[in-house]
Amino acid sequence: MTFWGKGREPRLVSGMRCSKCDGPLVRIRRCTEVFLRCERCGARLEVRDYARYIDDSFEEDVAHVPMDRI
């Protein structure tokens, strides 16, 4: 599967589970957005819905993405 392209490896997010199937989530980072994707069912989940689970390192990464400009 080459969906992600080069240089943007999805990162498994520990401690967070899909709200639909309880599968593991990966953090996906693109040029203009960051979101979460379920490894099991492929559901896309908005970061804001999981904000309470986000740790400092996550916020640090997200801070570099200009989400507010969308």
Q: Which of 8, 9, 12, 20 binds Zn ion (CB under 5 A)?
A: 20
Q: Say whether residue 43 binds Zn ion (CB under 5 A).
A: yes
Tokens 């709200």 found at: 19
Strand order in the sheet with 44-46: 11-17, 24-29, 34-38, 44-46
Contact assessment for residue 65 and residue 58, using Cβ atoms and an 8 Å cutoff: no
Q: Say whether residue 23 binds Zn ion (CB under 5 A).
A: yes
Q: Residue length, the chain? A: 70
The minimum distance between CB 41 and Zn ion, in angstroms, equals 3
Q: Say whether residue 11 binds Zn ion (CB under 5 A).
A: no
Contact residues toward Zn ion (CB under 5 A) are: 18, 20-21, 23, 38, 40-41, 43
